């Protein structure tokens, strides 16, 4: 088996990956809080789409790519198939969105959270191993089936816990704590899956490996991520503006304004799903 480095750049990649997972989870939980605050299905769907992009795109896929930049096989060049890499992004966003929509409409029930967590967890696993399928080395890649099963279990549990957070957390403190737990679970799934990987190099020496280098993927990924975040920001601002203009004037009691839908959604124990 070839020598493998999972932390080729030291602690930078796992720390940066965790921060990306945390930020994406935090944005996604805030969006789901806004979704719980609205009664209109179209606006709720918009907030859940934004949450899917935040959690699936930034919280999971960007975290995966940042962590994978720390992976290296010293005895072989490392290349990636750009199409499979982008396909893994689509899988991440779509499956997270599927789970959020399962729990985001209708009455909140345990079976909904479990079903959505199962679908989302398997989608995250598909995203991870599709991203790994995009990896090219001068040799063959195999996996330890026991660690693969462990990564599937971690993904399903993490996704279920994440969906439970999206329908239960209320205050800013709880949202921040939930985002930290979600980020830890996502990173745990990724590195469990990476630990399952083994590389056996060809014996005829190193030759050309097809694909693009990780650094060549940075520019399009940064551009796509920037465009997505800007689009999320504008869409979120537009949605909040529409909700404010369409909401009736808040009554006042003793000079104090009543609570807004957002503060209701962020209040501990609130349940407007």
Strand (E) or helix (H) holding 198: strand 197-201
Q: What are the Cα distances from residue 247, in Å, to 191, 261, 262?
A: 46, 9, 12
Structure tokens at 185: 């679970």
- Pinpoint the alpha helices (H) of 3-81: 12-37, 41-52, 63-68
Judged against a pLDDT cut of 70, whether residue 270 lies above it is answered with: no
Distances (CA, A) of 40 to 44, 47, 98, 137, 261: 6, 11, 19, 50, 12
Model pLDDT, residue 18 = 92
pLDDT score at 15: 92
Give residue 124's pLDDT band: very low, low, confident or very high (50, 70, 90). confident
Q: Is the pLDDT of residue 146 over 90?
A: yes
Instruction: With a cut of 90, say whether residue 113 has pLDDT above it.
Output: no
pLDDT at residue 264, as a whole number: 43
Helix 110-133 with 82-104: angle, nearest 10 deg: 180
- Asked if 57 contacts 24 with a C-beta cutoff of 8 angstroms, the reply is yes
Please check the confidence at residue 259 and state whether its pLDDT lies above 80: no
**pLDDT score of 269:** 46
Average confidence (pLDDT) over 98-119: 80
pLDDT of the residue at 149: 92
Task: Please compute the mean of the pLDDT values over residues 114-141 and round it to a whole number.
Answer: 86
Which tens digit of pLDDT belongs to each residue from 65-101?
A: 888 888 888 888 888 888 888 888 888 889 888 888 8
Which segment, 64-73, 224-233, 259-268, is predicted with the most confidence on average?
Answer: 64-73
List, for residues 92-103, the tens digit of each pLDDT value: 889 888 888 888
Question: DSSP string of 86-152?
Answer: HHHHHHHHHHHHHHHHHHHSSS--HHHHHHHHHHHHHHHHHHHHHHHHTEE-SEEEEE-HHHHHHHH
The Cα–Cα gap between 83 and 68 comes to 16
Q: Does pTM top 0.85 for this prediction?
A: no
Q: What percent of the chain has pLDDT over 90?
A: 4
146 contacts 193 by C-beta, under 8 angstroms: no
Closest CA to 175 of 47, 26, 21, 34: 26
How many angstroms separate the CA atoms of 228 and 219, rounded? 14
Per-residue pLDDT band at 234 (split at 50, 70, 90): low
pLDDT exceeds cutoff 90 at 227: no
- For residue 256, pLDDT over 60 is answered with no
Q: Which residue, 99, 14, 16, 29, is CA-closest to 265? A: 29
């Amino acid at each position: 088996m070839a020598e493998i480095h999972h932390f080729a750049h030291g602690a930078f990649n796992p720390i940066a990956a965790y921060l990306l997972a945390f930020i994406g989870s935090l944005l996604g939980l805030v969006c789901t809080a806004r979704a719980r605050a609205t009664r209109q299905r179209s606006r709720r769907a918009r907030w859940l789409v934004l949450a899917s992009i935040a959690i699936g795109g930034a919280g999971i896929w960007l975290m995966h790519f940042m962590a994978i930049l720390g992976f290296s096989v010293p005895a072989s060049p490392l290349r990636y198939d750009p199409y499979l890499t982008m396909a893994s992004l689509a899988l991440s966003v779509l499956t997270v969105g599927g789970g959020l929509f399962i729990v985001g409409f209708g009455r909140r029930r345990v079976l909904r959270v479990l079903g959505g967590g199962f679908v989302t967890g398997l989608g995250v696993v598909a995203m991870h191993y599709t991203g790994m399928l995009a990896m090219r080395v001068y040799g063959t890649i195999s996996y330890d089936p026991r660690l693969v099963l462990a990564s599937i279990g971690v993904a399903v549990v993490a996704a279920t816990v994440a969906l439970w957070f999206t329908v239960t957390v209320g205050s800013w403190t709880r949202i921040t704590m939930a985002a930290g737990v979600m980020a830890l679970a996502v990173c745990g799934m990724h590195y469990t899956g990476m630990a399952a990987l083994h590389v056996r190099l060809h014996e005829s020496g190193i030759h050309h490996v097809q694909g693009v280098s990780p650094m060549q993927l940075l520019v399009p990924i940064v551009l796509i991520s920037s465009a997505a975040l800007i689009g999320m920001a504008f869409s979120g601002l537009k949605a909040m503006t529409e909700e404010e203009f369409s909401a009736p004037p808040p009554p006042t009691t003793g000079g104090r304004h009543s609570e807004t839908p957002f503060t209701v959604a962020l209040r501990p124990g609130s349940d407007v799903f």
